[in-house]
Amino acid sequence: LPLCDSFLKMMTMWIQIVFLALIAIIVVDAEYTSGTPHASVVTLGNDSIDDALKDPANSIWLLKFYAPWCGHCKKLAPILDKAATRLEGKLAIGTIDCTVEKKLCETHDVRAYPTLKFVRDGVFHDYTSGRTEDDFVKFAFKMSAPSVSEVDSYDQALSDIASQNDEGVAFLAYHPAIAEHDKIRDKLQSNHITQVFTQVARKLQHLAHFTILLKSEDVWTKLGMDADAAKNGFIVKIEKGLPPMLFKPTQPDFTAIELLDFVKENNFALVTDLGPRNFNTIGKKGRHLVIGVVDSSDESQVNVMKKELIEFATTGPSDVVSKYYYGTMDGKKWAKFMSQFEVEVDELPQVIVIDVPTKMYWRDPSYESIQEFIMAVAEDKVEMKQSIRAKGGNFLKTLADVYVSNMPATGIATVFAMIIV
């Protein structure tokens, strides 16, 4: 009997400890109230979400669609709680329980947990940035800042604006009419070019960086324009070490849709570093991917590959160059993924071409130069093959598996939104 009593006391003690621990880690989100900037995560549902998104005190929302049983959702919760305390007046954070609000989650095409979306001006966007506390804070400050900044020089645009983008690119607009005004609002409304530029910047602020140049300087000479042509204004994509890429509208009175497409198609480096973050996104933009597969620990090998890819992308035949996007990929880190394209670690570096939507690829290491290989692919002189894993209907899962094994648990769910077909 004494043993039984002792056992019961011990069990009771442990139950109390576990219960108290659960109480300590369970955070109940606050209920939504209108008219006040939120400094904590709030619960939203079908009966409150419309009012919340129209609340002028909370003009930008980050929404977490989740299920109570989801482990990754639970791990993300305290990160959002901490971020919310730093974002009062800049970004409101709301959670939606998809086991309760099923129709609401279906309406917004929620297929995995947690799914993050942000809302501004009543428009829902997929949240694709990082998931650390600092990532959320950085995103909030970017989105709450003006969508278009000002720079005095082209070099300042490269150093201060393009450098903020993960891809090292930005979009720059110039028109001589802006010099006639002091306030940036008046400058942006002074001509058609910067008016449309501002509209697009507002829509794509979460993806790209936009700035206006206060004086044309030597940008027009880098574009091969004469001074008279520069007086009509221009919009360019800028990237360090490369000449600016001119936006060429079909007509002077171009629309926001035309510029929107230009930004979306070019919002990454000419030769970008490919991985789970951007592989599927870029691969589904309508062009094949030319990938230099390298050993990233060999800096010389990487630099030579990038230099040759840039050379072809800037000097090759324009009708061929425009068929592809270009990038490098770490053949050692993603060896398992690359093996489905017959690329082995001991054969690096290599160049392959992949059509992501159809899961087809071109590979022939017998060509001595990148230009010869790409031209041969364009002329149908290289055999097109199907990805080994695509035959089994599992093309990009390997990349997800490898990525998951190399990342924090809070980011795992993001992978599948980015790369699983």
Specify burial of residue 247 (Cβ count, 10 A radius: 0-12, 13-18, 19+): buried
Report the distance separating Cα 151 and Cα 212, nearest Å.
Answer: 6
Residue by residue, pLDDT tens for the chain (421 residues) are 454 566 566 666 666 555 444 443 444 566 667 788 889 999 999 999 999 999 999 999 999 999 999 999 999 999 999 999 999 999 999 999 999 999 999 999 999 999 999 999 889 999 988 899 999 999 999 999 999 999 998 889 999 888 888 789 999 999 999 989 999 999 999 999 999 999 999 999 999 999 999 877 667 777 777 677 778 899 999 999 898 899 999 998 999 999 999 999 999 999 999 988 788 889 989 999 999 999 999 999 999 999 999 999 999 999 999 999 999 999 999 999 999 999 999 999 999 999 999 889 999 999 989 999 999 999 999 999 998 865 554 555 555 554 544 444 334 444 433 333 3
Q: Which amino acid is at 41?
A: V
Structure pTM?
Answer: 0.79
CB atoms within 10 A of CB 213: 23
Which amino acid is present at 77?
Answer: A
Instruction: Look at phi and psi of residue 4 and say left if phi exceeds 0, alpha if psi is from -120 to 50, else beta.
Output: alpha
Q: How many helices (H) and strands (E) does the chain have?
A: 18, 17
Contacts with 200 (C-beta within 8 Å, 6 or more apart), sequence order? 210, 256, 259, 260, 263
